[in-house]
Amino acid sequence: MLNNFSRPRRVVITGVGCVTPVGIGRERFWASLEAGVSGIRRIQSFDPAGHAVQIAGEVPDFDWEAQLNPKDRKHVARTVPLALAAAREAVVDAGIDTAEMTLDDRRRIGVEIGTGGGGLAFTERQYSYWYNGPKTKASVYTIPSSTHGGLSSEISMALGLRGLSHVVSTGCTSSTDAVFYAAQHIALGRQDIMITGGVDAPIAPGIMAGFDLMTVVTRDWNDEPHRASRPFDAARSGIVAAEGSYMFILEHLESAIARNSKIYAEVTGYGATCDAYHRVRLDDSGIEPARAMTMALDDAGLRAEAVDYVNLHGTSTLLNDRIETAAVKLALGGHAYQIPMSATKSQVGHPQGASGAAGIAAALCAITTGVIPPTINLDNADPECDLDYVPNVARRAEVSTALCNCIGFGSKNSAIVLEKVQ
């Protein structure tokens, strides 16, 4: 059945699309990262007055209606237009015109999306209509639009794609895992092109209250939102929830060359583990996230010395940042102190299941532009967090190999390796 496994095809990224709290579109996202812009603001999608947490990373000036047919606007979660916008940008960036393809060609393009909460905010709104009214606003498609699985179908239907259409939901590692599974389908010859990445939109009253109940979100920076997300800083006090969508086009190298496509990077390694420890926190040892990173490097056939940049999970919680730092040291040894690293969440917040994809998009920025994005708000580093996190100011550096680390609820850990194609 796995007849292509002995000779896997090389998998490259040829398209990127981003819809983020610091800008819509790949170029604006990268420019904002390089400039150290914060996308954290007072919540606009509902009135946060009276809520303990009043800030989040929302996408400003997003014309979500433009992504949907009028008849669909009532019936889908916000994740759908976010995902569609990023997917469409990635498709155009890759020079793909699905409308001009034959049926057989469209059957060779699949969709593999990662999400943590999927349509949870949509579900919350529908329940409000049912129990508080007006019931006439409730959608007849509440059930399919509330489930995770319909998210990839919306992209497949919008673009007329007939290949596989899957959703991965593994908490905060969802999109890292989705990108790997997409790459695997191409490597094994099951699909020729994949649209993959991650999306989440968790900014809703009930969801935010739930995060606060777990004491994982910061309450300390409502008056200074831009300073709230501060991974590895001694004054960090919790995550800043965020929405966003980061999508990629993956295809095999021979196809990219034949199409004369620009190639951002090659996907060369992946590793995943589980601490099997707790619903929301890591084991203090950091052994399993370290093992995921080691597995990814081994899969790519690389030693720690080959890594030029690490994009960290960096949630801005007391435990995660300390344990992740320890895990990186376990995985990379003494070389960990020589590698520049950064935490994208300091700028865009924590987009839940889209976290891994956001990190991949940031790593592609470093590989493509030679600029490593900073970890902003790192004013006074925690003594236990003593690596080179590129504090506050972007840094020019040649990046040929990037390691992207991701840690999720349920003690899940995933890491992926990207390499510049020489």
Task: Give the pair of three-digit tokens for residue 62.
Answer: 């997003």
pTM here is 0.97
Q: What is the pLDDT of residue 2?
A: 52
- 399 & 288 share domain: yes
Q: What is the pLDDT of residue 3?
A: 55
Q: What is the pLDDT of residue 5?
A: 59
Per-residue b or e along 381-417, where b marks 16 or more CB atoms closer than 10 Å to that residue's CB: bbeebebbbbbeebbeeebbbbbbbbbbbebbbbbbb
Residue range of the domain that includes 352: 269-419
Domain count along the chain: 2
Question: What number of other Cβ atoms are within 10 A of residue 44's Cβ?
Answer: 11
Could you tell me the CATH number of the domain that includes residue 302? 3.40.47.10
Q: 10-residue block means of pLDDT along the chain (422 residues)?
A: 68 98 98 98 97 98 95 95 98 95 97 96 90 90 90 97 98 97 97 98 96 96 98 98 98 97 98 92 92 98 98 97 97 98 98 98 98 98 97 98 94 96 89
Is residue 3, in this structure, part of any structural domain at all?
no
Nearest to 252 by CA among 297, 186, 300, 205: 186
How is 59-126 classified by DSSP, letter by letter? -TT--GGGGS-GGGTTSS-THHHHHHHHHHHHHHHTT--GGGS-HHHHTTEEEEEE-SSTTHHHHHHH
Task: Give the pair of three-digit tokens for residue 14.
Answer: 């040829």
- 153 & 224 share domain: yes
- 175 & 311 share domain: no
- 247 & 327 share domain: no
- 121 & 195 share domain: yes
The residue among 236, 258, 280 that closes a domain is 258
| Distances 174 to 148, 229, 365, 369 between C-alpha atoms, Å | 12, 21, 21, 26
Catalytic residues, by residue number, are 172, 313, 350
The residue among 258, 283, 303 that closes a domain is 258
Q: What is the pLDDT of residue 22?
A: 98
User: Identity (one letter) of the amino acid at 347?
Assistant: Q
Residues 252/409, Cβ–Cβ less than 8 Å: no
